[in-house]
Amino acid sequence: MFDQAPMFDTSVPVGVFGADCAASGAPKFRLLPVAGEPGMLTSTGGVQLRAPHALDALRRAGVVIAPSWRSRQPGPPEPLLRALRQAHGEGALIAGLGSGVFVLAAAGLLDGRKVAASCRHAPGLMTAYPGVTVDPEALFIDDGDVVTSAGPVAGVDACLHIVQRMWGADAAAAIACGITPAVRPDGGRAPVAGGALDEAVAYALGHLDDTLDVGALAMRAHLSRRTFDRRFRAAVGASPLQWLGRQRILRAQRLLEDTDLTVEVIARQVGFTTAVSLRRLFRRVSGVSPQDYRSSLRDKAALPLEPAGRSLTGDPHPPGAAGPAAPRPGPGW
């Protein structure tokens, strides 16, 4: 969230990922509203916003969304751009909705890509960033690791698309029915890379605690190993194993946050056979050891700002797809 950015735009991802649709079977997300710059953020009509999280929260996110940007100088602050690039490099899905595409462009994440942008923003975007091509027809574009939308209303579609892609059509439909007027039975949106791939992803998320190998996921998607690799990278922006590793770390982070389980136990619960593997990957992804991560969060939890909320890092349990045996850790999940 940014100072002087439109309230409507800023609220879009909060509306989608913060919607409480658990009763209709939607997954719960841990939504981490992040202040993109320090200080109080003033929005449309003088409304003042205060985001409970700082930039370091980007390291814990599976999806990072820039919902808006202001029209005036100065540009996005460099620490934010660094954090965005780092999250992207570590496999997070990055989305720029409406004016938020300027934030992604400033971070260099749109170079050489075709993106969606509203007619108001398209000329300025292409002038300031010659490497970026705007598709004037697109409401939103999923480019695998980067999603863009033309304006905040299409931003709702883009967010629902992300939900569908990562958590399945049922999840998207459950959320959509609360915020859009009419939805087709499929959730109103076509899958990114084909239902087969989505199914394999949903299966993997529901069985993170098992030892999954890429060959088995390919079989589940009814694709050859080679084609699965290719399609996966095109759709998700990372190799299957890289993606799997990041999902495992995200879940481990939650277990570290919400439980007192030992690192050894957590490692097994998220699909590592030993804690050594978890520790090594954990440090590479988040920069700290699991223990340090846990204690730093415990320190922060003492502050009044920490919400009891949920995480946009994504609860990986598409209803139905994960099966009855899907793990449901702790109360803070």
User: Which chain residues interact with DNA by CB under 7 A?
Assistant: 211, 213-215, 223-227, 229-231, 233, 239-242, 245, 272-274, 276-277, 280-281
Strands 41-42 and 48-49: antiparallel
Q: Shortest Cβ distance from residue 281 to DNA (Å)?
A: 5
Closest contact distance (angstroms) between CB of 133 and DNA is 17
Residue placing its CB nearer to DNA in the complex, 4 or 273: 273
Residue 226 CA, chain-centre distance (Å), reads 26
Q: Using CA atoms, how far apart are residues 184 and 110, in angstroms rounded to an integer? A: 31
How far apart are alpha carbons 7 and 98 in whole angstroms?
Answer: 12
Q: How near is the Cβ of 329 to DNA at its closest, in Å?
A: 20
Nearest distance from residue 240's CB to DNA, in Å? 4
Q: Show the tokens assigned to 61.
A: 């996110």
User: How far is CA 37 from each of CA 29, 51, 145, 175, 243, rounded to the nearest angstrom?
Assistant: 23, 10, 24, 30, 29
In angstroms, give the least distance from the CB of 136 to DNA. 21
Nearer to DNA, 274 or 296 (CB): 274
* Shorter beta-carbon distance to DNA: residue 171 or 218: 218
Shortest Å distance, C-beta 209 to DNA: 13
Exposure string of 3-40, with b = 16+ CB inside 10 Å and e = fewer, is: bebbebbbbbbbbbbebebeeeebbbbbbbbbbbeeee
Instruction: Using the minimum distance from each CB to DNA, give the nearer residue, 85 or 283.
Output: 283
42 or 133: CB nearest DNA? 133
- Nearer residue to DNA within complex by CB, 85 or 222: 222
Question: Closest by alpha carbon to 101, among 62, 70, 144, 68?
Answer: 68
Nearer to DNA, 157 or 198 (CB): 198
Minimum separation from the CB atom of position 125 to DNA (A): 26
